[in-house]
A and B are shown apart, each in its own frame.
Chain A
Amino acid sequence: MSHSRFNRRQFLSSSASLAKGSLLVLSVPAIVTACREASESRQQQAAFANLGAEEAAEFTAIAARIIPSDDTPGATEAGVIYFMDNVLGDPEREPILEALRDGLRELQYQIATEYNLGFFIELDVQQQDELLRANERTAFFNTMRYLTIAGTFSLPEYGGNRDNIGYNIIGFENPGGWAPPFGFYDADYRERGE
């Protein structure tokens, strides 16, 4: 049995506070109205509203290493890139988008110097993972991780979690409600008449 004591910074009980590790500043606006557009562009495979094709391809590939498509679908199938395109279109989040673009350029610089290639998508998955591991502590990576997870597990109307793919990964059926017994232990409790 492992024991460890987490301090507040490590243990982030509120998901909102996890933004601190990334560039993502919590901010609102016009997201709801942007949602319909995101969902339409996703359905039509239209061009992205806010991301360029090249950076979208790079971000998609990075997200695919954070939540990979393996024995179950991952960030790509969940449409995380459409979530990113949507929420980064919020004018208040423009500095975050700019910082992500800077971070991507920095990553591509590393790709050029270390692998003599131009783009993240040109690396094989081992190289991609190796590069991301080397960048694990950067604000760029943490923001990408944050957005990938948020895009996988938010309501589909924000552009990601397509067909509840994120929920399915963790076995969250999202039926709207449940009836007891809820799990093994309460079923056992009832059976034993405790």
Chain B
Amino acid sequence: MAAASFPTREEVDFVVIGSGAAGGIMAKELSTAGHSVVVLEQGPHLQAADFKHDEWGYDHNFELTWGKPQGHPQTFRKSEQDTAEERDMVCGYAHNVGGSSMHFSGNFWRFRPIDFMEASVRGSVAGTNFSDWPISYEDLEPYYTKVDWEIGVSGLQGPWDPPRSREYPCPPMPIKGPDVLLERAAKGMGLNPYPAPVAILSQPHNGRPGCIHCGFCNGFGCEVNAKSSSLVTMMPLALDSGNCELRTHATVFRIETNEQGRASEVLYYDAEGNEQSQRTKAVVLCANGAETPRLLLLSASSRFPDGLANSSGFVGRNLMFNGYTSVMGLFDEPVNGYKSIPATRVIHDFYELDPALGFYGGGGIDARHPSRGTPMGFALMSGEVFGGASWGSEYKRNLAYQFSHVAAFDGHTTSLPLDSNNITLDDNVQDRWGRPAIRCTYMDHPDDLSTMQWFLDKTTELMEAAGASNVVGFYPENGQEGNVHLLGTCRMGADPDSSVIDPFHRSHDVPNLFLCDGSSLVTSGRGQPTMTIMALAFRAADYINQAAQRNEI
């Protein structure tokens, strides 16, 4: 069926803002249920043929993520007492149909039952907003399984895996060298490594081909459509429904409300820079954990003076990045970690650290190539990292050896939700449209830093047990100054005083405004949030479709 086209001055059933991990699912679920849907996406509709192994274009020129060079500066400060500095990029996300699901690593861990009730099991953490979710793993499990099959996930069900109602649709990806080294070391230490669940196809599924192991996943678009992004899984179905119109290069700057306090129009700049306004019966905001709070704050009015849906003051607060650590070492034989997907094994034995350690935290460990397998990225870091020459013939010799003989063991860890870590508007810096820039204020909680230190020590132990030489490791011990995980900034909760959306993603303040993306998360999980964002989107879409049927939007 041909893609739909709707006049802006007539009400559609839904405007979905953003076409990423959550927005793509919303567009597909709402449009195939028969609702008229307009999707507004800031970026272009790139396809597999547009993607290249282009480190210079993507990593240095921000062609996929955009940043200051494209007219989208952001500002950063560690605390509210500091003046925020303008940066090329702080909160990173891809600007295109499919959003960051297009360029992410594909690591696709489910959250575990403990993630949803950890505050009551583990106990609260003073000075933080650490709390239970209003939903349980059991509530979300059917939707995790829906993601597995509709999006396409490769993995292996086993005793190490969170409880699941159906097996993975695709078997696990073939093991890589770094993961063999990790698995052997881990088993020697009595741990339980298992095949990493990934949103990358190990064999054809839903009409898409299996992975060709080119190695350019993380930060790149898949050139064969084997990565299970919204771009290639959901948006084609939405557009085929005949009920969905996708408008690219559409930059939303305001959600307008009517006299009843309901969202009524979405204002945006089109590709030509002209102001447009789409009338709608309801708005589903899926712009990510930085852009969603920004747009709500930009939509302040006399009725909503602190920003839309912000009577709690929680819009933008509780930003969580997840922590990370990395330890690298060199091995005697070619590891060739630059081939194939980022990671094929994971260790979840340290999902919850012992409270007796005196700090809260937990995480997972996987094995990778330290520069995401990219030649330029590794050539730029090689030398300095292992303490050898950084130029000249010795550098060149070392680089050639290290590129194929290196492995990294990485930790992916929890972040606590804090009032002081947040997204606000920076009135001193504007983007190319004149919108106040995203201002990020962030300093990892001491427990988060202790958790990273613990994982660095543990992965160093694993690296040594694996037989590596030249072992070096690091974590951001002075605090992170940016990330691509943008979580918690419009958290879900039953209490309108301490949350922005209800357990079904309806905003507490504006009944026909739904928010779903990384901002919805109550806690950070252990560092791979996309699977949970997608499961939440399927669950929210189910609820919205049912509510629409009852005429209760």
Q: Which residues of A contact B (CB under 8 A)?
A: 1-8, 10-16, 18-19, 25-29, 31-32, 65-68, 70, 72, 74, 87, 92, 129, 132, 145-146, 148-150, 152-155, 158, 166-167, 169-172, 174, 176-186, 188-189, 194
B380 and A149 within 8 A (CB) = yes
Q: Quick check: is B433 within 8 A (CB to CB) of the other chain? A: no
Residues in chain A near residue B183, CB distance under 8 A:
194
Tell me how far the C-beta of A9 lies from the nearest C-beta in chain B, rounded to whole angstroms. 9
Contact with A along B356-400 (1 / 0, CB 8 A): 000000000000001100111111110011010011110110011
Contact with A along B185-221 (1 / 0, CB 8 A): 0000000000000000000000000001111000000
- Residue among B56, B371, B387 making CB contact with A155, cutoff 8 Å: B56
Residues in chain A near residue B474, CB distance under 8 A:
5-8, 10-11, 13
* CB within 8 Å for A12 and B380 given contacts A28-B63, A171-B403, A183-B177: yes
A183 and B404 within 8 A (CB) = yes
A29 and B69 within 8 A (CB) = yes
A–B complex contacts, Cβ < 8 Å, 29 sampled: A1-B471, A2-B470, A5-B473, A5-B474, A6-B474, A11-B385, A14-B59, A14-B377, A15-B55, A15-B371, A16-B88, A26-B62, A27-B69, A28-B61, A31-B56, A65-B392, A72-B400, A74-B396, A145-B390, A145-B391, A155-B54, A158-B56, A167-B375, A170-B400, A171-B403, A178-B214, A178-B340, A182-B177, A186-B176
A8 and B476 within 8 A (CB) = yes
- Beyond known contacts A10-B474, A154-B55: 15 more, CB 8 A cutoff: A2-B471, A10-B384, A15-B381, A18-B380, A26-B62, A68-B393, A74-B396, A145-B391, A149-B379, A150-B60, A155-B54, A170-B400, A178-B215, A182-B176, A194-B184
Top 5 A-B residue pairs of the complex, sorted by shortest distance between their CB atoms: A177-B212, A183-B336, A184-B333, A15-B377, A153-B376
Bound CA span A154–B375, Å: 8
B335 and A172 within 8 A (CB) = no
Contact with A along B470-495 (1 / 0, CB 8 A): 11111011100000000000000000
B333 and A132 within 8 A (CB) = no
A182 and B53 within 8 A (CB) = no
A31 and B472 within 8 A (CB) = no
Bound CA span A183–B477, Å: 33
B376 and A11 within 8 A (CB) = no
Bound CA span A148–B335, Å: 26
A19 and B60 within 8 A (CB) = yes
A166 and B375 within 8 A (CB) = yes
Nearest residue (CB) in A for B377 is A15
Q: Quick check: is B117 within 8 A (CB to CB) of the other chain? A: no
* CB within 8 Å for A4 and B375 given contacts A31-B57, A154-B56, A155-B52: no
Bound CA span A5–B144, Å: 39
Q: Quick check: is B334 within 8 A (CB to CB) of the other chain? A: yes
Bound CA span A68–B392, Å: 6
Give the B interface residue count (CB, 8 A). Answer: 76
Q: Quick check: is B8 within 8 A (CB to CB) of the other chain? A: no
Nearest residue (CB) in A for B212 is A177
Residues in chain B near residue A16, CB distance under 8 A:
59-60, 88
Residues in chain A near residue B377, CB distance under 8 A:
14-15
Bound CA span A41–B422, Å: 49
Bound CA span A24–B340, Å: 31
Tell me how far the C-beta of A110 lies from the nearest C-beta in chain B, rounded to whole angstroms. 18
Bound CA span A152–B468, Å: 28
Nearest residue (CB) in A for B456 is A5
Q: Which residues of B contact A (CB under 8 A)?
A: 52-57, 59-63, 67-70, 88, 174-177, 179-181, 183-184, 212-215, 223-224, 326, 331, 333-340, 370-371, 374-381, 384-385, 387, 390-393, 395-396, 399-400, 403-404, 460, 464, 468-474, 476-478
Bound CA span A192–B201, Å: 26
A92 and B69 within 8 A (CB) = yes
Residues in chain A near residue B180, CB distance under 8 A:
185-186, 188-189, 194
Nearest residue (CB) in B for A19 is B60
A172 and B174 within 8 A (CB) = no
* CB within 8 Å for A18 and B381 given contacts A182-B336, A183-B333: yes
Nearest residue (CB) in A for B215 is A178
* CB within 8 Å for A170 and B380 given contacts A3-B471, A26-B69, A67-B396: no
* CB within 8 Å for A170 and B61 given contacts A65-B391, A177-B213, A180-B174: no
Bound CA span A176–B57, Å: 18
Residues in chain B near residue A65, CB distance under 8 A:
391-392
A26 and B88 within 8 A (CB) = yes
Bound CA span A27–B396, Å: 27
Tell me how far the C-beta of A192 lies from the nearest C-beta in chain B, rounded to whole angstroms. 10
Residues in chain A near residue B60, CB distance under 8 A:
15-16, 19, 26, 150
Residues in chain A near residue B67, CB distance under 8 A:
26
Residues in chain B near residue A176, CB distance under 8 A:
212, 214, 223
- Residue among A14, A70, A158, A189 making CB contact with B175, cutoff 8 Å: A189
Residues in chain A near residue B174, CB distance under 8 A:
180-181, 186
Bound CA span A25–B69, Å: 10
Tell me how far the C-beta of A191 lies from the nearest C-beta in chain B, rounded to whole angstroms. 11
Bound CA span A5–B453, Å: 11
- Residue among A6, A129, A155, A182 making CB contact with B472, cutoff 8 Å: A6
Bound CA span A81–B443, Å: 42
A153 and B55 within 8 A (CB) = yes
Tell me how far the C-beta of B24 lies from the nearest C-beta in chain A, rounded to whole angstroms. 26
- Residue among A4, A12, A67, A148 making CB contact with B381, cutoff 8 Å: A12
Residues in chain B near residue A181, CB distance under 8 A:
174
Bound CA span A42–B392, Å: 25
A13 and B326 within 8 A (CB) = yes
Tell me how far the C-beta of B476 lies from the nearest C-beta in chain A, rounded to whole angstroms. 5
Nearest residue (CB) in B for A29 is B69
Bound CA span A75–B213, Å: 29
Nearest residue (CB) in B for A149 is B379
* CB within 8 Å for A170 and B333 given contacts A8-B476, A150-B376, A185-B181: no
A185 and B177 within 8 A (CB) = yes
